[in-house]
Chains A and B, each alone.
Chain A
């Protein structure tokens, strides 16, 4: 980083070295006056030459290079030498002519004024240079802070800049709200990056570090500290400016994060609401039939014939079973949602599973299920209860979309090493764009809550199939209108041996 080498940054010289540092300007001033005295006799040979101008030049050079006090020293020395060597009587401090006295006084005054001016100019230009460097550094920092994606990145840039600026180790910390850790970063000038933040914090707490607050609009204030005992006003100002910039960047990042969190929370809330309303819809549909049938029985007990009475009683029973099925689905869903599903595999007969599923559905007369199961696909090694639930859900889905009088077809066959079970309906089919989306947990909800709430059923099917190493996919029926939902199960054999075991 192109930071100007500030005097304060230099290591403080001790003992002899320091004395030498302090003496150097005066020695240089003495040398300059010496050169002027050596050149003066040569100059005197020229017409209209004025030795005083020569000495004045020497004072000016001293002032520009070394500042006020060396220049005052140079002017006094010049006065003495000039008086001694170049005004009669020579080699004495006596002043011969009155005019010479005036010359000498003017000389001294002018020497100190020009020296002073030059020194101030030098200081001003030095300051300006420093300020320019600070501005460049600040811009550099602002750029890196604006590009930062996280609070830690901003703090990293901040400590890196300050470490470069002070030539000292730095640490910065900003609390990130109640439930997350504070963002922290360290900048290294005298240590390497391997020093941990904890070590650095410990050093800050025990040492004489300078500390500045990072004032935030959102959330609690943080701090940045550097291993410098007494930063000068310039450094203080620069640190202030750079910390302000860091605070702005941190605020921006926190605001973005807050908005993002709020959005996520809203989406989560919406999902929860959708799920709840779908589940209650699923549960209420059979309840409506139960309440309707039971209240009809109570109200019209006398007027109903026995056929109707038993029909209503059967409704109550069937719908109670359906309610149970929905509740089973909910339980399966929570099972699928929490950790890996433990499969309890055993040999099952596909025919039995399908007929059990059909029985559980308790279909009414206007829907038929046609079953076609190839012999080689008859026995599968699966978790029977779960696969039966998959078939129940697939069949319920197919029945829902099949117009009265049309069949639902269940076909099982081998395909390579996999068992395929196709459930085909005669419904309107699934639009190509939605073939994958139907497995989305909330597909139906997005679809304006049509019938039976959630796509819970299908997403559970997929979950169970995948737990078996297989999958459930949706297809367009090749032989006419309708959809085919395909359960694919890789043929797994028990570890202990074949079917006979």
Chain B
């Protein structure tokens, strides 16, 4: 985390108790926390404070969470972490496709939540460029050199397979939806043909010797997309 100033996190959540534990935990990690109970209030504060991260509850009393994301995205690229009690995949996918960067389903433990928060803050620090290098458990993917090395041996990847890894590395630690991957790799007209994607991911996992049941690298977010472990 950069030393210059404490990052500001804006909480838009109408549940007082959820705001409370989030504020305490975020402050314990040296972040500054601003709270809003209602969507309108939150949108106004986002404009005034220019936060480094917005944590947004999808079920606000005065506006649908999807609407808040769209309104924010009209003028801001600030990372948005969505909180939702819904286990409904459609809602998550809709939020992600509307421009949210990641989601956490309530009830979730604080460590899972803080991990997501850190990933989002870091990604903002680094920016999104092809300089990124991903390293984890014997795997090193260097986007500037367009290579993937597993346990010291170069992994031979097709153009599509490399494309998939590049997209996941750029969002390492964050979920990337099926639709986003399909649109990038095959074009928007294929966005519904997710079986191509499943075959592709299965091939990459084989080459990376990644066990789908207990993945070291590519985690399946059921019904939503994939996440490269951060």
Contact = CB atoms under 8 A, between A and B. Distances in A.
A450 B25 contact: no
A292 B37 contact: no
Given A299-B110, A448-B64, A289 B21 contact: yes
Interface stretch (A106-114, A175-183, A310-318, A329-337): A310-318
Contact of A451 (B41, B61, B113): B61
A403 interface: yes
A291 B109 contact: yes
Interface string A297-332: 001100110001001100100110000000000000
Of the listed residues B24, B62, B110, the one surrounded by the most CB atoms of chain A closer than 10 A to its CB is: B24
Given A288-B108, A296-B25, A401-B61, 18 more contacts: A281-B85, A285-B85, A288-B106, A288-B107, A289-B21, A291-B108, A292-B17, A292-B22, A292-B106, A292-B110, A296-B24, A299-B109, A318-B17, A400-B61, A403-B38, A403-B41, A428-B62, A449-B86
Interface string A445-461: 00011111000000000
B199 interface: no
B193 interface: no
Interface string B36-74: 011001000000000000000001111010000000000
B76 to A, nearest CB: 23
B15 interface: yes
A177 B41 CA distance: 60
Interface residues of B, number: 29
Contacts of B14: 400, 451
A291 B107 contact: yes
Interface of B: 14-18, 20-22, 24-25, 28, 37-38, 41, 59-62, 64, 85-86, 106-111, 113-114
Contact of A450 (B37, B64, B111, B114): B64
A208 interface: no
Contacts of A288: 15, 18, 85, 106-108
A318 B18 CA distance: 12
22 contacts: A281-B86, A285-B15, A288-B85, A288-B106, A289-B20, A291-B109, A293-B20, A293-B21, A295-B109, A296-B25, A299-B109, A308-B28, A311-B20, A312-B20, A315-B20, A318-B17, A319-B17, A366-B37, A427-B61, A448-B64, A450-B64, A451-B61
A450 B59 contact: yes
Of the listed residues A290, A318, A364, A448, the one surrounded by the most CB atoms of chain B closer than 10 A to its CB is: A364
Contacts of A315: 17, 20-21
B28 A284 contact: no
A404 interface: yes
A253 interface: no
A312 B28 contact: no
A317 to B, nearest CB: 10
A312 B86 contact: no
B114 to A, nearest CB: 8
Contacts of A403: 37-38, 41
A287 interface: yes
Contacts of B60: 450-451
Contact of A308 (B22, B24, B86): B24
A418 B62 CA distance: 34
Interface of A: 281, 284-293, 295-296, 299-300, 303-304, 308, 311-312, 315, 318-319, 364, 366, 400-401, 403-404, 427-428, 448-452
Contact of B24 (A311, A318, A448, A450): A311
A75 B17 CA distance: 117
Contacts of B18: 288-289, 292
B107 A292 contact: yes
Nearest to A285: B85
A284 to B, nearest CB: 5
A297 to B, nearest CB: 9
Given A292-B108, A292-B113, A296-B21, A451 B59 contact: yes
Nearest to A316: B17
Nearest to B37: A404
Of the listed residues A288, A290, A292, the one surrounded by the most CB atoms of chain B closer than 10 A to its CB is: A292
Contacts of B110: 292, 295-296, 299-300
B111 to A, nearest CB: 6
Contacts of B106: 284-285, 287-288, 291-292
Contacts of A319: 17
Contacts of B17: 286, 289, 292-293, 315, 318-319
Given A285-B15, A404-B37, A312 B61 contact: no
A457 B46 CA distance: 33
Nearest to B14: A451
Of the listed residues B16, B41, B59, the one surrounded by the most CB atoms of chain A closer than 10 A to its CB is: B16
Contact of B28 (A304, A404, A452): A304
Nearest to A363: B16
Of the listed residues B18, B41, B86, the one surrounded by the most CB atoms of chain A closer than 10 A to its CB is: B18
Contacts of A449: 59, 86
